[in-house]
Amino acid sequence: MTRSRTFAQVDVFSSAPYRGNPVAVILDAEGLSDEEMLRIARWTNLSETTFVLPPAAPTADYRLRIFTPGGELPFAGHPTLGSARAWLDHGGVPRSGDVIVQKCRAGLIDVRRGEGILSFAAPPTLRGGPLGAADLDRFVGALGIAPDQVVSHQWVDNGPGWAVLRLATAQEVLDLEPDLTRIPDAMVGVIGAHPDGAEEDFEMRTFAPGVGVAEDPVCGSMNASVGQWLIRTGAVPGGYRVSQGTRLGRAGRITITPGQDGSVWVGGAATTLFRGEAFA
């Protein structure tokens, strides 16, 4: 039966309003079926729509289901931070002080509050290692680049199926004009370094035709697993900053911070811009 449910739309990974990545959050989502959640996600037509439910684990503060217009994801970054922001604004009180514990299909995800930002602990990757020759050739062809532009590459799948190619420069990343019809099922990101002295260290772009999203404006899950890879391999000496969404007119800013225990934290601003009711 249709009823009123609390709704929020949160701008994530930008301190400038309407310049980050929006996520639609339906709180009080108990009773909605899988089909209804997917129908709502298709209607909002955002990269993700989330549904907050009572916790299904004794240590969790809430359970989260994450849908793209194409289906459900086990984990996604900006929906995690946006949903935590909406839950806090709705009066949620974490069991563990400044750490919010989210239960999703990928498991328990810690989200901590800092000065002006929220950060989540990157979940383990499900698949790693370099890309095979056939996959690399497909991605290079679809991105319209030469093979020798690829500095390194890796599977960085923490649920959505991500792969990443590293190029030498941020400008090469910004110049990409991909033909996604050549990789309709792909989930691929591209990262390149800004010049020394720039405000951010890297530029990232993420393409997700596999879930019905041509280019994700600012992607937390991709940045999470890429951060784990770059820090683990010593490609970067420590924490760093990423800009994303530039080609889409956004101003995404992501911080990657290694923890002393080997964890990697992905942080950014999260601001509720719309509040109201959803009827579902």
Query: What confidence score (pLDDT) does residue 255 get?
Result: 97
Contact 222, 77 (CB under 8 A): yes
The answer to whether domain 4-120+267-279 and domain 133-266 are alike in fold is yes
Contact 114, 267 (CB under 8 A): yes
Query: What confidence score (pLDDT) does residue 43 get?
Result: 96
Spell out the residues 6+ positions from residue 33 whose beta carbon is closer than 8 angstroms to its own: none
Domain limits of the chain?
4-120+267-279, 133-266
φ, ψ for residue 165 (rounded to 5)? -115, 135
Contact 63, 26 (CB under 8 A): no
Query: What confidence score (pLDDT) does residue 57 get?
Result: 85
Contacts of 126-135 spanning 24+ positions with Cβ under 8 A: 126/157, 126/158, 126/159, 127/155, 127/157, 128/154, 128/155, 128/156, 128/157, 128/229, 129/154, 129/155, 130/154, 130/155, 131/155, 131/163, 135/163
pLDDT tens-place values along the chain, 280 residues long: 689 999 999 999 999 999 999 999 999 999 999 999 999 999 999 999 999 999 988 999 999 999 999 899 999 999 999 999 999 999 999 998 889 999 999 999 999 998 889 999 999 999 999 999 999 999 999 999 999 999 999 999 998 899 999 999 999 999 999 999 999 999 999 999 999 999 999 999 999 999 888 999 999 999 999 999 999 999 999 999 999 999 999 999 999 999 999 999 999 999 999 999 999 9
Tokens 């639609």 found at: 24
Query: What confidence score (pLDDT) does residue 97 get?
Result: 86
- The count of residues in the chain is 280
Q: Which pair of tokens denotes residue 41?
A: 């996600």
Helix (H, G, I), strand (E, B) or coil at 56: coil
> What's the CATH class of domain 4-120+267-279?
alpha beta
Q: Which pair of tokens denotes residue 229?
A: 């890879």
**Whole-model pTM?**
0.93
> What's the CATH class of domain 133-266?
alpha beta
Question: Which residues are tagged catalytic?
Answer: 48
Query: What confidence score (pLDDT) does residue 15 get?
Result: 94
Q: Phi-psi region for residue 45, left (φ > 0), alpha (ψ -120 to 50) or beta? A: left
Query: What confidence score (pLDDT) does residue 212 get?
Result: 86
Which stretches of 13-96 are assigned E, i.e. beta strand? 21-26, 49-53, 62-68, 71-73
Helix (H, G, I), strand (E, B) or coil at 108: strand
Contact 200, 173 (CB under 8 A): no
